[in-house]
Homo-oligomer: A and B are copies of this chain.
Amino acid sequence: MSKGNEAVPKAADRIRASACELFYREGIRAVGVDEIVQRAGVTKPSLYRSFPSKDELAAAYLRDYDQNFWVSFENPGGKSYSDPREHVLAYIRWLSKRAATDGYRGCGLSNATVEYPGREHPARQVADANKRAFRKRLRELAAAMGASKPDVLGDGLLLLIEGIYTTGQQTPAGPAQSAPQAATALIDAFVRSA
């Protein structure tokens, strides 16, 4: 109650939540700041007191997205896994189901990259950092599986996952449904199980 939390009152959070929902659903460029503040039940000056610009608000949205992403990836379906193979496959199974749900719009970070080609954009920097880290993590897990070519397997899994993101927002019951089987086959091709 004293001075613990720093400049994170209530309006800023409402704006953040509203922006996350709208940016994900409609895209960043498609949503105006007026729509964001209206949905948040606040006014425009409140937005610009907490965020220096719309671009920075977009970056904040992606930082939230990044955080949620890692929770979903490290604990797919709320469970934790010690076997790296089962870990990755559990995420892909969970993602495939999610990709078939209504209103699925892929990965907010990948989408932001499409909307902002310039690497200098604040949103891009968040997205790029996430993708770099994700690639590293998948290669790490592939190595832990004992894959013959861990970097190739890690990249292959990443390509499959990005493919789910993309196709999930194209066709309702699309190729994403085959992802678990394809991923299993890909892993088994690089890991000779005992």
Question: What is A's interface to B at a CB cutoff of 8 Å?
Answer: 25-27, 29-30, 105-106, 110-111, 113-117, 127-128, 131-132, 135, 149, 151-156, 158-167, 169-171, 174-179, 181-182, 185-186, 188-190
Contacts and interface: CB of A to CB of B under 8 A. Distances in A.
Nearest to A30: B29
Contacts of A161: 163
Within the oligomer, what is the number of copies of this chain?
2
Nearest to A172: B119
B156 A178 contact: yes
Q: Which 10 A-B pairs have the closest CB atoms?
A: A159-B163, A156-B182, A155-B178, A155-B175, A185-B189, A162-B163, A163-B163, A162-B166, A114-B114, A152-B178
Given A25-B117, A186-B182, A164 B170 contact: no
Nearest to A160: B159
Contact of A131 (B164, B167, B186, B189): B167
A153 B128 CA distance: 30
Nearest to A111: B114
A101 to B, nearest CB: 14
B185 A27 contact: no
Contact of A132 (B160, B165, B166, B171): B171
A191 B115 CA distance: 39
A190 B185 contact: yes
Given A114-B106, A117-B25, A170-B128, A160 B158 contact: no
